[in-house]
Amino acid sequence: MTPPQPSECPERKALSEHCKTLEGVELRDLFRDDPTRGERLAAEACGLYLDYSKNLLTGETLGLLLRLVEASGLSARIDAMFAGEKLNTSENRSVLHVALRAPRDAKLEVDGRDVVPEVHAVLDRMADFCERVRSGAWQGHTGRRIRNVVNIGIGGSDLGPMMAYEALKHYSDRGLRFAFVSNVDASDFAESVRDFDPEETLFIICSKTFTTLETLGNARTARAWCLAALGDEAAVAKHFVAVSTNAEAVAAFGIEPANRFGFWDWVGGRYSLDSAVGLVLMVAIGPDRFREMLAGLRAMDEHFRTAPFERNLPVLLAAIGLWYNDFMGAQSFAILPYDQYLWRFSAYLQQLDMESSGKRVDREGRPVAGETGPIVWGQPGTNGQHAFYQLLHQGTKLVPCDFIGFARSLNPLGDHHDQLMANFFAQTKALAFGKTAEEVAAEGVPDSQQPHRSFPGNRPSNTLLAERLDPATLGKLVALYEHKVFVQGTVWNINSFDQWGVELGKQLADRIAPELSSDAALDHDSSTNTLIERYRKLRA
Ligand code: G6Q
């Protein structure tokens, strides 16, 4: 039976009604009326502490949100995902990234076949390769050891490994330099390899399909760059490896089958960091640390699968996000990590969330009745405080935020970490409680300046606090947000695992590319025609 459209369900109606009752309610009041709120509205799992008390909601709100989540059939959907059912209906694929971190003795089936042994076989091959590169046993064509590793990939084949490499740089082998080339703009490749010696450089061509225009263009350029210096086709075998599901295309490119690390169509690009797509990360941090990250992902999977919804971190984050997105009119959501190593985390989550939840039809192909995914953005604190926090504190937009911080620094220097964390705690407090005109006046500020210098408060945030950023904790954070996105997609009844919205631009670019270097008549709209004609003149 086709499920009812989300707008029709009674749980949603109850929440809309409830929303009206909260008009005018302030966080100041909620905290004053319940002195234990800050301790009560919190949950802890896998070493992650989530304080959600500084949100514009009450216990009743949360109860209603969890009823909405339950009514979406989430429990059955979780079971279906872990059972390898084809949840990605528009591509007829299973969605089994959880199998990538399953222990060796687990059993997870796709089409009646246990995929766990294959996952571990690839992990073992990856580990062997990484040890050879890290130890110097893997040599370049001229016998020199590898000092530079360049990952060429885009989208899910770039953002995940790049974010995780940056996040775990502290644990990386400093005898190796790493670069990530994604943009088809040649400047990306040129600047990335500028200081690298081809004799000491290894390229990982990372592409699930091995058909992606940007990646194959950069891969060909890399091969030409390498062969121009080494002058021998045989060098490709020592300087190129591939991560791909497409064995034929990899072989056609000239990469030896033994140097291909495979994965499977049931791993979506943006969910692939912990597959062979993470090869560059494994080279950087070593197989043991990589396995620690997998253990972290697995711990969060287990928590998500087994914890009651009211204590389930992904479910709680999803429910709170739904509250702002579906009922309070928020258009965006900010990720604010207070850790420099997480400087690419929001870019990574932007893809994870926006490509998964940026959908306008439901799983049955009907237009969705309400809002789907928010715009996701962010930067590390405290830099953001000196840039866009102005709007968060005093602007006219509602921007719910997730603050992420750690108790221990990986680089304990003087009092830097306490300063950082003082800002971390201060910001959520300032956002929530603001500063009234009376408080400003009491400081002797003249009347005319009070509107400028007061803070309305009532601006919501979640706080995630962990002991320190290590591979396992990163894994937990990644799985936390993966599952949050899954919960929200289930409530909106959308397919979180396809991305047809990226296709039209690709098709048009294929058509336009040959037109740019020809003078054939153009047959687009008048804007596109005029722009291409101008480009042709300027490039000439
Ligand atoms: C992610 C998307 C997309 C994909 C890239 C790269 O979920 O599918 O970002 O990862 O388009 O694709 P290839 O890995 O096939 O080159």
161 pocket-lining for ligand 1 (C-beta < 6 Å): no
H or E element that contains 446: none
CA neighbor of 54 nearest in space, from 66, 40, 69: 40
Tell me the C-alpha to C-alpha distance, in Å, between residue 193 and each of 181, 216, 231, 443: 9, 17, 18, 56
Distance, first Cα to last Cα, the chain: 60
350 pocket-lining for ligand 1 (C-beta < 6 Å): no
Residue 6 is predicted with a pLDDT of: 60
Residue 1 is predicted with a pLDDT of: 44
269 pocket-lining for ligand 1 (C-beta < 6 Å): yes
CB atoms under 10 Å from CB of 515, counted, come to 18
215 pocket-lining for ligand 1 (C-beta < 6 Å): yes
Atom of ligand 1 nearest to the CA of 206: 14
Amino acid sitting at position 381: G
Name the CA dihedral angle for 122, 126, 129, 135, rounded to a multiple of 10 degrees: -150
Atom of ligand 1 nearest to the CA of 155: 9
Residue 381 is predicted with a pLDDT of: 84
- Residue to substitute in 181, 209, 350 for testing ligand 1 pocket (most ligand atoms within 8 angstroms of CB): 209
For residue 482, the SS3 value is helix
Residue 211 is predicted with a pLDDT of: 95
Q: How many helices (H) and strands (E) does the chain have?
A: 22, 13
Q: Enumerate residue ranges in the chain where pLDDT < 50.
A: 1-2
Ligand 1 centroid, distance to 28 Cα (angstroms):
45
Ligand 1 centroid, distance to 271 Cα (angstroms):
10
Distance CA 372, CA 356 (A): 10
Q: Considering just the CA atoms, what is the radius of gyration of the chain in Å? A: 25
Residue 251 is predicted with a pLDDT of: 96
* pTM score, whole prediction: 0.97
CA neighbor of 162 nearest in space, from 291, 272, 287: 272
382: cis peptide before it, omega within 30°?
yes
209 pocket-lining for ligand 1 (C-beta < 6 Å): yes
Tell me the C-alpha to C-alpha distance, in Å, between residue 123 and each of 119, 267, 277, 452: 6, 15, 11, 57
Distance CA 424, CA 404 (A): 8
Which tokens in the block code for residue 150?
């360049």
Ligand 1 centroid, distance to 425 Cα (angstroms):
37
Three-state secondary structure readout of 202-271: EEEEECCCCCCHHHHHHHHHHHHHHHHHHCCHHHHHHHEEEECCCHHHHHHHCCCHHHEECCCCCCCHHH
Residue 401 is predicted with a pLDDT of: 98
Three-state secondary structure readout of 16-45: HHHHHHCCCCCHHHHHHHCCCHHHHCEEEE
Ligand 1 centroid, distance to 170 Cα (angstroms):
27
Amino acid sitting at position 515: E
**Given the residues 20, 386, 452, 537, the one annotated as active site:** 386
User: CB neighbours of 302 closer than 8 A, spacing ≥ 6?
Assistant: none
244 pocket-lining for ligand 1 (C-beta < 6 Å): no
- The CA-based angle 121-122-124, given to 5 degrees, is 65
CB atoms under 10 Å from CB of 465, counted, come to 20
User: b vs e for 112-129, b when ≥16 Cβ sit within 10 Å of the residue's Cβ?
Assistant: eeebbeebeebbebbbeb
Residue 7 is predicted with a pLDDT of: 63
- The CA-based angle 279-284-286, given to 5 degrees, is 80
Tell me the C-alpha to C-alpha distance, in Å, between residue 281 and each of 178, 348, 404, 535: 9, 15, 22, 40
Strands across the sheet with 240-243, in order?
Answer: 177-181, 148-152, 201-206, 240-243, 260-261
Ligand 1 centroid, distance to 191 Cα (angstroms):
23
457 pocket-lining for ligand 1 (C-beta < 6 Å): no
- Does residue 467 contact residue 338 with C-beta atoms inside 8 Å? no
Q: What is the DSSP string of 301-339?
A: HHHHHHS-GGG-HHHHHHHHHHIIIIIS---EEEEEES-
CB atoms under 10 Å from CB of 282, counted, come to 26
Q: Is 506 a catalytic residue?
A: yes
pLDDT tens for each residue of 428-487: 999 999 999 999 999 999 999 999 999 999 999 999 999 999 999 999 999 999 999 999
